[in-house]
Structure 1
């Protein structure tokens, strides 16, 4: 039983870490997209 709890705990930590990583990557991609969009709008002028 202790082993099962330890494995589930590690799985939860791994999932939480992965979510933070994906969220951070999403924010970076969003910022990059905003810069590209701004550059495209500047090129239209």
Structure 2
């Protein structure tokens, strides 16, 4: 029983860490798109 609880905890923890990285990456992509849009509006080039 304890082994099953520990295994479940490790799985949940791994999924939580993976989700954090995914959200962080998505936020960085959105930030990049917003910066590019703002630069285009201001007559500059996207970097």
TM-score normalised to structure 1 length: 0.90
SS of the residue 1:42 aligns to: coil
Structure 1 ranges of 4+ moved more than 3 A: none
Matched, 1:7 2:8: yes
Structure 2: gaps spanning 5 or more residues: none
1:1-40 → structure 2 map (5 Å cutoff): 1-40=2-41
Q: Which has the higher helix share?
A: 1
Q: CA RMSD in A?
A: 1.2
Structure 1: gaps spanning 5 or more residues: none
| Bigger relative contact order, structure 1 or 2 (CA pairs below 8 A, ≥6 apart) | 2
